[in-house]
Amino acid sequence: MAQSKLDQIDRQILAQLQADGRMTNVELASRVGISAPPCLRRVRTLEEAGYIRGYHADINPRELGFEVQVFAMVRLRSQAEADLSTFESLCRAWPLVRECHMLNGEIDFILKCIAPDLSTFQNFLTEHLLKADNVASVKTSLVIRCAKDEPGLSFDVLEARLAKTA
């Protein structure tokens, strides 16, 4: 299902589920103005097509004692595809790394790390990240506070963009 194949109802379903993934199918159907059976079929189709990657709870890390969030900017010695893939596999295996993004420019990867305390992050940095094969340098920035943490995407922007092309 290509983006151009999504109709207004499909986009409304996505927007509603992004805002509240726990609502029942009956509630979702009511909000988008269709009956429950076709709504469920549409949701399953959106899942199968990859528009919906999963459902999860938004856990507050501080409530569980994870007080430290750090962005680590990693530069590699080699950017050969095999070396990039190897580093990405390492990142997926490290529990403190919650996000890993390959970048264009001087920095090859930015990692979002969440740890219970600074010493746990420091141990990860010195014993794992800095010792990883192919890592040339790491610069870290400790998050002081978060001004915005908005998951997903803006459906208002999507709708405005689609209105321009219609």
Per residue in 145-154, pLDDT tens?
999 999 889 9
Count how many domains the chain has: 2
**CB-based burial, 116-143: b 16+ in 10 Å, e otherwise:** eeeebbeebbeeebeeeebbeebeeeee
pLDDT tens digits for range 153-166: 999 999 998 888 87
- Residue 77 near residue 130 (C-beta atoms within 8 A): no
> What integer best gives the mean pLDDT of the chain?
95
For residue 110, what are the domain limits? 61-142
For residue 165, being part of any structural domain is answered with no
CATH number at residue 125: 3.30.70.920
Considering the domain architecture, whether residues 65 and 97 belong to the same structural domain is answered as: yes
Bridge partners (DSSP) of residue 53 are none
pLDDT at 166: 74
In this prediction the pTM is: 0.86
Whether residue 121 is contained in a domain is answered as yes
Of all residues in the chain, what percent carry a pLDDT higher than 70?
98
Q: Convert the pLDDT of each residue in 30-83 to its tens digit.
A: 999 999 999 999 999 999 999 999 999 999 999 999 999 999 999 999 999 999
